[in-house]
Amino acid sequence: MKHINAQIDGGLGTITLNRPPVNVLNIEMMNEINEILKDWIGNKDLKVALFNANGKCFSAGVDVGEHMGDLVLKMIESFHGMFRLMDRLGAVTISSVYGSCLGGGCELAIFCDLVIADDTAKFGQPEIQVGVMPPIAAQIMPRIIGRKAAMDLILSGRIISAEEARQMGLVNKVVAQGELESATTEFLKPYLKLSAEVLRKTKKAIMAGLMDDFEPSLKIIEDIYLNELMKTEDAHEGLKAFLEKRKPEWKNC
């Protein structure tokens, strides 16, 4: 793999984002993640799938240039493919986060069942500031932290600290800088001692208890993103302004 490292060892599958310096998720990288997830589906011994990263931060988000023109369809297919595969995986998913965790990187982290972060981590969905929206966050954030808090984060695009994210319920545990790797290892241990099959069935029961099917709502959000949002002038202006390093000139249409 060019942009990720992946391995399975003793019931633990690890996908390490490895596209320095800030692990911007491009289509090629997301397709690599999808290949690994497809390969892991049906692995009866897989208990935990861990997402971590090398470099300056967890991930600064999805490549803005790939939101534009004909690439947006391929980008959404690859990006949402990750979450569809994670939804099917069955294993417990955990993200280990430090530094910037923004946009699509934030969505990847918080979609996981459990999140551990160090105190350098910054979470946020700044997409609205460049004229687009975060489809996965729109689907899952209200279910994780409630409507009011989700509206605040998604509509403002503000960035929050790891501790504020923990208080909101986006993060399970925050540790000091320098302790994340060892703390993640300890965080994983209880799950690796359990039956992979019992973990899968229990996770399935929890999701059933929420009475919330991921796929139908995501299809609606995708339609809004591709057939409504991406047909506005302001979506293209915001993305273009970001790439040109200038303030957008909104036309409100």
Q: CATH no. for residue 31? A: 3.90.226.10
Note the pLDDT of residue 129: 96
Domain span at 143: 4-192
The answer to whether residue 146 is domain-embedded is: yes
Between CA 217 and CA 50 the distance in angstroms is: 25
Note the pLDDT of residue 210: 81
Nearest to 129 by CA among 5, 244, 241: 241
The answer to whether residue 222 is domain-embedded is: no
The answer to whether residue 216 is domain-embedded is: no
Tokens of 142: 């209200």
The answer to whether residue 68 is domain-embedded is: yes
The answer to whether residue 225 is domain-embedded is: no
The answer to whether residue 112 is domain-embedded is: yes
Backbone angles phi, psi at 231, to 5 degrees: -100, 0
Tally of structural domains, the chain: 1
pLDDT tens series, the chain, 253 aa: 999 999 999 899 999 999 999 999 999 999 999 999 999 999 999 999 999 999 999 999 999 999 888 899 999 999 999 999 999 999 999 999 999 999 999 999 999 999 999 999 999 999 999 999 999 999 999 999 999 999 999 999 999 999 999 999 999 999 999 999 999 999 999 999 999 999 999 999 888 888 777 888 889 999 999 999 999 999 999 999 999 999 999 999 9
Q: What residues does 49 pair with on adjacent strands? A: 13, 93
pTM for this predicted structure: 0.91
Which residue in the block uniquely carries the two structure tokens 């910054």?
122
Q: Is the dihedral of CA 194, 38, 216, 252 positive or negative?
A: positive
The answer to whether residue 15 is domain-embedded is: yes
The answer to whether residue 174 is domain-embedded is: yes
DSSP assignment string, 71-105: HHHHHHHHHHHHHHHHHHH-SEEEEEE-SEEETHH
